Structure 1
Amino acid sequence: MTAGQVVLRWHVQQGLVAIPKSSNPERQRQNLDVFGFALSDAQMAAIDALKLPSPNLLDAERFGH
């Protein structure tokens, strides 16, 4: 399992919608392969406990996206 798959699976288990984007065929396959595993309660809690950086660091406009 890749870091990207973990992030997508976290979204699925939270009931959120994620819209991944990749032009790489292997990553596209990985993005679709998030329904064959589940994150444990402990894994979900560990991700939930991560501190987010400053909101300014998450501003897509800042990076030209």
Structure 2
Amino acid sequence: MSKYRKERSALKKQHLPSKVCAVCEKPFNWRKKWESVWHEVRYCSERCRRNKNKDTSPHEHK
């Protein structure tokens, strides 16, 4: 089995890394587009990133 296949099989959906959003405090999973910057990702969505400085309690996604 090639190295590529081993890496792909290791990242099945149920085994993806996850984090908790700094704004809404909900869990979110790793995405391919975050592959190179996963260590910097703090927000689950663009909406949460935009609302990071608001003085409100954690909002609920609608």
TM-score (norm 2): 0.29
The higher radius of gyration belongs to 2
TM-score (norm 1): 0.28
Higher helix share: 1
Higher strand share: 2
